[in-house]
Amino acid sequence: EAGVVQSPRYKIIEKKQPVAFWCNPISGHNTLYWYRQNLGQGPELLIRYENEEAVDDSQLPKDRFSAERLKGVDSTLKIQPAELGDSAVYLCASSFGMLTDTQYFGPGTRLTVL
Amino acid sequence: GENVEQHPSTLSVQEGDSAVIKCTYSDSASNYFPWYKQELGKGPQLIIDIRSNVGEKKDQRIAVTLNKTAKHFSLHITETQPEDSAVYFCAASRPRDSNYQLIWGAGTKLIIKP
């Protein structure tokens, strides 16, 4: 069974440019999470989807970040415009249902903003 | 809100010895405590979890203990092997409600010396 797929794996952009990350969760997983992980820190939740509904986006910087999960399957996270402080690893995870179900993580996208 | 503190930040042990990583949490309503292992260039992977209705859980060389009164939980790895080298994260969450999410510790880099 395929795991969580993310692309691209690495992205280098200049500040003020837009960037998008894509995630395909494990088949059948209703819950999808986007996390940001800074170097030497644990992941921080950006947004959580239950099917196609964003049920927790309280930590998503909405002035520059947006996300969508059309049809309740794969998801895209966008940053526009990117800032230097956005450099981090962006992780996507999915779970079958409740938060206390195991979250399965993708390999992440390492973003470098120059 | 919940706050999770993890110690030590780096742990170096001789191969074959045991390793212990400790976490404390602040929210007495938290009831789910997973441990994740993150290898370089990969997303976190669940290795063991415990719920607040039990005090200890074991899976081969890995065990987790929970002290609800003191609000701390620990990861124990026995007979450490080189492949145990990684960053380990603890996390905690409240019961499922509209604002729940996993709160992560800062991570412990475990180094297994040959």
A10-46 pLDDT, tens digit per residue, is 999 999 999 999 999 999 999 999 999 999 899 999 9
pLDDT band at B98 (very low <50, low <70, confident <90, very high): low
In B37-56, the residues whose Cβ lies within 8 Å of chain A are: 41-46, 49, 51
DSSP B51: E
Touching check for B114 and chain A: CB below 8 Å?
A: no
**What average pLDDT does chain B have?**
93
**What average pLDDT does chain A have?**
93
pLDDT band at B99 (very low <50, low <70, confident <90, very high): low
Query: Which chain A residues are within 8 Å of B3, Cβ to Cβ?
Result: none
Alpha-carbon gap, residue B111 to A18, rounded angstroms: 38
- The nearest CA of chain A is from the CA of B45 a distance in Å of 7
For residue B35, the chain A residue with the least C-alpha distance is: A102
List, for residues A50-65, the tens digit of each pLDDT value.
999 998 898 899 999 9
For residue A33, the chain B residue with the least C-alpha distance is: B101
- Give the pLDDT score at B18: 98
- Give yes or no for residue B12 having a pLDDT over 60: yes
Interface of A with B (CB under 8 A): 4, 40-45, 48, 55-56, 58, 91, 93, 98-100, 102-108
Compute the half-sphere exposure of residue A96: CA atoms within 13 Å on the CB side of its CA.
3
- Give yes or no for residue A97 having a pLDDT over 80: no
- Give the pLDDT score at A79: 97
Who's near A33: CB < 8 A, 6+ residues apart? Answer: A45, A47, A48, A49, A92, A93, A94, A95, A103
